[in-house]
């Protein structure tokens, strides 16, 4: 899982520091994402940035496909909920 230093670690989508733990997602390094999404491997993002990102749905699809073939637990799959917010799937 990506390391997060509040107020220092930049969001992989917008580049601004991620400060609030209630508005972030951290990704482990899978090493199998398409080149367009490699910058999200082992990264931290503002949950609000990822949720509003124009490439959100395609990234979620590729992330979930990569997780399916990894040793990560099922709760590391991403889910886009009704309002467009992206979050980790809860059991």
Would you say residue 90 has pLDDT above 70?
no
Q: Are 47 and 87 in contact (CB under 8 A)?
A: yes
| Better pLDDT: 7 or 62 | 62
How confident is residue 1, by pLDDT bands cut at 50, 70 and 90? Answer: low
Query: What is the per-residue pLDDT for 59?
Result: 96
Whether 51 and 25 have beta carbons less than 8 Å apart is answered as: no
Closest by Cα among 88, 62, 61 to 77? 88
68 in a structural domain = yes
Domain, as residue range, for 52 = 21-88
38 found inside a domain: yes
pTM over 0.85: yes
Question: Average pLDDT in the 42-60 region?
Answer: 95
How high is the pLDDT of residue 89?
A: 82
Number of domains in the chain: 1
* Residue 7 maps to a domain: no
- Higher pLDDT: 91 or 46? It is 46
In a domain, 32, yes or no: yes
Residue 71 lies in a domain: yes
Q: Does 59 fall in a domain?
A: yes
Does residue 12 form part of some domain? no
């Amino acid at each position: 899982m990506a390391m997060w230093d509040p107020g220092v670690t930049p969001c992989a989508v917008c580049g601004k520091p991620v400060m609030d733990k209630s508005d972030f997602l951290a990704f482990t390094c899978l090493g199998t994402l398409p080149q367009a999404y490699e910058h999200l491997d082992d990264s931290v993002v503002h949950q609000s940035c990822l949720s509003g990102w124009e490439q959100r749905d395609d990234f979620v699809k590729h992330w979930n496909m990569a997780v399916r073939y990894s040793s990560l637990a099922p709760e590391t799959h991403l889910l886009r909920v009704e309002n467009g917010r992206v979050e980790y799937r809860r059991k």
